Amino acid sequence: MKKTATRLADGRELLYYDARDDVVREAVDRRPLAPVATASEIRRDPLLGDAVVIASHRQDRTYLPPADACPLCPSREGRASEIPDGDYDVVVFENRFPSLAGGAGRCEVVCFTSDHDASFADLDDERAALVLDVWTDRTADLAERPGVEQVFCFENRGREIGVTLGHPHGQIYAYPFATPRTELMLRSLAAHRERTGGRNLFDDVLAEERADGRRIVIDGEHWTAYVPYAAHWPYEVHLHPRRRVPDLRGLDDAARAEFPRVYLELLRRFDRLFGPDEPPTPYVAAWHQAPFHAVNRGEFALHLELFTIRRTSGKLKFLAGSESGMSVFINDVPPETAAERLREVATP
């Protein structure tokens, strides 16, 4: 992997990641861009204790532009974009409309391919492996920045999820705090360790799922994908490396080599869930990594959580009163049924 750093016209950092070492990146961003102006603030809810980001400048972010005005496509004659070069493998750049800014974290955009009409599931194994290397490199880089506590790599796909740009891309948030969801996991880890005389909760859950088998979707040599026993979403899969590591930097070569096959198969199954007449399945794919300074970070297990808000053909799962008001999810699809369906739509 070759990494080339440059700057956009307004000073934001942009990084090209190329599979070939002989690629030269010399294009210059000549757009007349004004400096990025942000108004990001982190506030603490005094009752719940969690963080809320106030980011009023994001009201003006680009919203579903036509394909010929996509800011994530390569630049071409007469139309400059966020990527100055005429083609690319994978690109990462600082978000022009970041949720976290001003010394309180960082937000990056990750473009998986220059093909506007593709999706992550369309990538080949080599490109998916490159994206994994990019996620890992960004985690390592951001971990060294002052004030960063946790790195979150994720992809939102589909208008139903709330995506504002159709080009295949993800994002990376470098939080200056451990997120509320992760704090809950860390507390559950500590309670389980105390209750069981030192056992690891992630290890036990994975072992129980593999022993039960009913909710297993893919069981590879180095990765296991399963629908959790208490899945929140209609179709939700957790993907774990079999060897527990706290973040992406800990994956060994064997796990890295197997990841593209397993992950691409999962995404392709999601697109086949509801039949050929349905539009592409909207989903969130989220890497959960340990906070860098957590007391029990070595007990945390890196994993990816993939879920869709589509509950059946033509119908979405909306967060209604119980979910939005009390955080008590009501799932219409039994996890065992979801796992069976995900096995049925395996690649022939």
- Which residues participate in catalysis according to the annotation? 169
Secondary structure of the chain as H, E, C letters: CEEEEEECCCCCEEEEEECCCCCCCCCCCCCCCCCCCCCEEEEECCCCCCEEEEEHHHHHCCCCCCHHHCCCCECECCECCCECCCCCCEEEEECCCCCCCCCCCEEEEEECCCCCCCCHHHCCHHHHHHHHHHHHHHHHHHHCCCCCCEEEEEEEECHHHCCCCCCCEEEEEEECCCCHHHHHHHHHHHHHHHHHCCCCHHHHHHHHHHHHCCCEEEECCCEEEECCCCCCCCEEEEEEECCCCCCHHHCCHHHHHHHHHHHHHHHHHHHHCCCCCCCCCCEEEEEECCCCCCCCHHHCCCEEEEEECEEECCEECCCCHHHHHHCCCCCCCCHHHHHHHHHHCCCC
Pairing of strands 150-157, 169-175: antiparallel
Question: What is Dmax (Cα atoms) for the chain?
Answer: 66
Give the contacts of 303 (CB within 8 A, at least 6 positions apart). 202, 238, 239, 240, 241, 287, 288
The 10 Å Cβ neighbour count of residue 308 is 24
> Alpha-carbon Rg of the chain, whole angstroms?
20
Rounded to the nearest angstrom, the gap between the alpha carbon of residue 305 and the centroid of all alpha carbons in its chain is 8
